[in-house]
Amino acid sequence: SGVINSGMTFCDFTAGYLASRITLLTNKDCIVTETKCYGTGYDYCEFEVSFLE
């Protein structure tokens, strides 16, 4: 991927943006968590969405 493995995720802005968009579209509060990231050695970033009850 060309990104140095820092051992830390660095897509907090993207996770926050996704959470706000999903909340607006579904009218349900959610949390978006980055589960894989370039910064931790993966070739892509992956996010998990959890809806709050």
User: pLDDT by residue (tens digit) across 2-39?
Assistant: 677 887 888 999 999 999 999 999 999 999 999 999 88
Parse the chain into domains and list their residue ranges.
Answer: 12-51
* CB under 8 A, 24+ apart: contacts of 9-17: 9/34, 9/37, 9/39, 9/40, 9/45, 10/37, 10/38, 10/39, 11/37, 11/39, 11/45, 11/47, 14/45, 14/47, 15/47
Q: Tell me, what's the pLDDT at 32?
A: 98
Q: Tell me, what's the pLDDT at 2?
A: 66
